[in-house]
Amino acid sequence: MIKNWKHITCTWLNFNRFLQMLLTMDLSLTKSQNKSEQIDQNDEDIDLAKERELLASLIAKLKCEIDESKNRNTFLETSNQVLVEKLKSEIADFKNTNKSLTEANNKLSVENDQLYADYEKSKAELQRHNSVEYASEMELECAKAKGDLLSYKMEYQMAYNKYTPTINDLNQTILELKHKLSVQQDTISILKQQKDAQIKLYKT
């Protein structure tokens, strides 16, 4: 791109120098000049025609290069616009990804803190379990639990020995009551049958 502009600038400078040369030329020659001057004039006319052709060629070339430069600039502007839009999209994606990563990192940090706290707690508990004081405490608790169990067994045996005769007596009483109830039910059934027979007899 820079090389093209340098070439266009150089062509434009040549074109300006040629215009300055044309402006400074004295074209007011008289017809009274001699043959030598006429030849010189013809040579100058030929040179002028060549310079005009060169000028026309330079102008055409300059226009062509300007058009190419405009087309190239248009293409570059379009490409730049596409790149800008793509860059905006990538920036937006990066922001979203960065936000997700930040949230995940924060969550992971909280979980790590919780795991570390649990680890420290377990470590302290393990150290306490491995200590002599803890062992002595457990021995005392086991001895107390063993004593309580023996005490409960003794109390149960005493209660069993105390209440077993009473329970047996109650069971015997219940059996006797059931027998008496059965006898009463039989008596009631007989009395009912007798009553029904008397009622039937009265009706006849």
pLDDT band at residue 6 using 50, 70 and 90 as cut-offs? low
Query: What pTM was computed for the model?
Result: 0.32
What would the pLDDT profile of 79-104 be if each residue is shown by its tens digit? 888 888 888 888 888 888 888 888 88
Distance between CA 146 and CA 161 in Å, rounded? Answer: 23
Mean pLDDT over the full length of the chain: 75
Q: pLDDT tens digit string along 43-70?
A: 666 777 777 787 777 777 888 887 887 8
- Assess whether pLDDT exceeds 50 at residue 1: no
Taking 70 as the threshold, does the pLDDT of residue 204 lie above it? no
Q: What is the DSSP string of 27-81?
A: ----TT--HHHHHHHHHHHHHHHHHHHHHHHHHHHHHHHHHHHHHHHHHHHHHHH
For residue 108, name the pLDDT band (cuts at 50, 70, 90): confident
Contact 58, 22 (CB under 8 A): no
Residue type, 9: T
User: Closest by alpha carbon to 186, among 201, 194, 35?
Assistant: 194
Q: How far apart are CA 25 and CA 45, in angstroms?
A: 12
